[in-house]
C-alpha cells in the first residue's frame, strides 16, 4: 500500500463510529500492554520469593540431615515411618 499526500480539498474523515472503534481498540491495547507488564513484574517478584524460600528450605534440610548423621551415622530414613535404615556397605 503506497502512502500519498492528500490535498486539503481531498481530505476526508472516517465515520464517528469507526473513529470510536479505533480509539477503543487503541485504549484496550495500551491497557493490555500495561497489564501484561505489571503481570510480568509480579511474576518475577513471586518467582524470586519462591526461589529464596527453596534455598532457605534446602539449607534447613542440609542442617537437619547433618544433625541426623552426626547423631545416627550414615543412615537412611523412611520418610513415611521415620524408621532408620542402615546403609549397606559396598
pLDDT digits (tens, 9 = 90+) for 3-50: 667 676 677 899 999 999 999 999 999 999 999 999 999 999 999 999
Q: Which of 58, 61, 59, 74 is nearest to 84 (CA)?
A: 74
Cβ count within 10 A of residue 70: 8
Give dist(CA 77, CA 8) in Å, integer. Answer: 86
Give dist(CA 62, CA 59) in Å, integer. Answer: 5
**pTM strictly above 0.85:** no
What three-state secondary structure class fits 77? strand
Question: How is residue 74 annotated by DSSP?
Answer: S
Amino acid at each position: 500500500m503506497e502512502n500519498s499526500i492528500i490535498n486539503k480539498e481531498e481530505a476526508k474523515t472516517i465515520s464517528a463510529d469507526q473513529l470510536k472503534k479505533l480509539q477503543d481498540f487503541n485504549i484496550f491495547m495500551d491497557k493490555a500492554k500495561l497489564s501484561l507488564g505489571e503481570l510480568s513484574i509480579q511474576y518475577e517478584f513471586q518467582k524470586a520469593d519462591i526461589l529464596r524460600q527453596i534455598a532457605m528450605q534446602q539449607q534447613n534440610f542440609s542442617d537437619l540431615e547433618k544433625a541426623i548423621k552426626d547423631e545416627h551415622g550414615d543412615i537412611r530414613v523412611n520418610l513415611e515411618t521415620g524408621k532408620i535404615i542402615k546403609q549397606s556397605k559396598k
